[in-house]
A and B are shown apart, each in its own frame.
Chain A
């Protein structure tokens, strides 16, 4: 099974991808997932991260079947 990775708004345009399926042989931290998806781009300072639609920090662990998301500061309202 895979880990589904989603990117939103300006971050999607910077990385050039909106959704990626990563092969998940073993659990990975959110920071490791970012490194794979962005092809080693440094983690932007104000980036927000979610695991299964809940905010997490870069050291959170994702496993097969999980959904991970990266996005810039929010601007709703």
Chain B
């Protein structure tokens, strides 16, 4: 299991490749599911220039660890990974990477969906957008799906 909060931009495909290379359960994994959240240049009908992502240092990491442990108890997972950006984010940069490894597709897909949905509903992160007009606003709530 790996949980990380990153103030630096990351390439999710390189992260997955590096993590795959160091995993030690050769011959056991039949399914890998991943979700990558990326910053759009629009939201709620407005053009967005950039975003600031704030988190509650300490609680966020703790919550994500609890979440990953819950998923590993609920499904037969071999491993899981959550990587989330904080700080200033620009369009097309990755915001979040969630991945789950399992022997079969169903637990991998279900756990991946669970991890991203719970993260979006309960993990203490907050987005503040800067619109192309220069106006700044806090995002009041996530899109339902």
Contact = CB atoms under 8 A, between A and B. Distances in A.
A77 B125 contact: yes
Contacts, number: 72
B56 A8 contact: yes
Contact of B62 (A53, A74, A76): A53
B2 interface: no
A55 B62 CA distance: 11
Contacts of A69: 56, 59, 124
Contacts of B142: 74-77
B90 interface: no
A76 B123 contact: yes
Nearest to A48: B124
A73 B140 CA distance: 7
Interface stretch (B22-30, B69-77, B102-110, B113-121): B113-121
Interface of A: 6, 8-10, 48, 50, 53-55, 69, 71-77
